[in-house]
A and B are shown apart, each in its own frame.
Chain A
Amino acid sequence: MIRLLGIFLLVLNCFDGMGKNPPGTLKVKGTSYYLDAIEMSNLEWYSYVIDMRSKYGKDSEQYRTSLPDSATWCSTYSADEFFKYGKYNDYPVVGITYEQANQYCTWRSELVSLKYGKSVVYTLPSKEVIEMACKQSTSSYKEGVYQLGKRNKIRGLYDNVYELTVENGMLLSSNTSGECSFQPVNEVPPGLIGIRFMARIEE
């Protein structure tokens, strides 16, 4: 009986080709929203960057505005060029502005909706959804900016990097208390600010 229950739970937690969770997300209990299980990684952001480059060209505004702030990114990862070093693939992307995050949402929503034939809308997360998600978040606290974990649980909501929220200028804080809290953006070094998104499926 326990084994069968385990299989059932396993199925519920897995994205089934858009039958359940939009890609990258898990359902936030008590809401109709889904939230990225982990922060956006450098590789994920790079996927967006090269799509802008291939669609619009290297000299385009779309490509240029998709790039993270190089000084911020490079100082966080001790690198001299964005994404030059693959060892940071699975670390949270930093150096992304509020406006860039919203542009990414538009791109991601279009791609996901196109692939799965349902209208999926990604946005920066609201305070209310974050607070609900915090109740089911798992912490794997390590000092500093650290490698992201698997997508099978909501992870790192109150640790790893600070995160942008839908309220411009307000961040989800990073702390060791095990509780979600919020903090103004001007109090936090930009190299410690990452992103994740929430999604809803529109019927």
Chain B
Amino acid sequence: MARNYKVWKSGATGWWHWECKDGSASGTAGSRSEARSQGQSNCSGSGFVLSPPPFGGEIIRGHVSSFEVYDLDGTLRKYSTAEISENTFYFLFGSDFYEPTQSTPEERVIAYLTIWGIYRGGQSEAEIKRRHDLNTAGFGKIAAKDVYNLEITIEDNDKITWNFSARP
């Protein structure tokens, strides 16, 4: 199925925007889920496109055992370091304290998928790729933080299509 609308977050206002792929309608919403809902209602076809902001979330406070982060729906979520390690958080947020040898590619990819709200389980590279319709190149790009121009299309049948080089 073809994607029919796209959603993205404005870093300048904190609001979400959506637009039908054909440009026929667009709007502004307070959260990703609202934007997605409005896109579904106003655009023909099915599926939606997610353009994650570069950081994928915002740490509001953190200490050595847990972090609180706004997810792409604008909901504040708390993660323990058992879920996402401290070092992997440093990776996500570009901290100088990130130590590359202390986080595996699988951990880094799971962390991104979790913060984007689309993690469907899996611990090994093969299982993560299978559950998220990711190929090896895509897995490697996420693990390397090469997600600057990423578009994630999620169809109504839950199939995910990854586009690492194009946005709206």
Contacts and interface: CB of A to CB of B under 8 A. Distances in A.
Contact of B62 (A11, A17, A152): A11
Interface stretch (B19-27, B113-121, B153-161): B19-27
B33 interface: no
B97 A111 contact: no
Interface residues of B, number: 36
Contacts of B97: 3, 6
Contacts of B137: none
B62 A10 contact: yes
A51 interface: yes
A116 B14 contact: yes
A51 B12 contact: no
B13 A90 contact: no
Contact of A111 (B13, B62, B94, B167): B13
Contacts of A90: 148-149
A104 B123 CA distance: 45
A4 B97 CA distance: 10
Contact of B15 (A3, A11, A115): A115
B28 A111 contact: yes
B26 A50 contact: yes
B167 A86 contact: yes
Interface of B is mostly: loop
Contacts, number: 103
A47 B95 contact: no
Interface in B106-155: 148-149
B164 to A, nearest CB: 12
A87 B166 contact: yes
A127 interface: no
A16 B58 contact: yes
B17 A14 contact: no
B28 A86 contact: no
A14 B59 contact: yes
A36 B10 CA distance: 13
Interface of B: 8, 10-15, 17, 19, 25-28, 30, 54-55, 58-64, 70, 76, 93-97, 148-149, 165-168
28 contacts: A6-B97, A7-B62, A10-B93, A11-B59, A11-B61, A11-B62, A15-B58, A16-B58, A17-B58, A17-B60, A17-B70, A23-B11, A24-B11, A24-B12, A36-B12, A44-B11, A50-B17, A51-B26, A51-B27, A54-B25, A54-B27, A54-B28, A89-B168, A108-B12, A111-B28, A116-B14, A151-B55, A152-B94
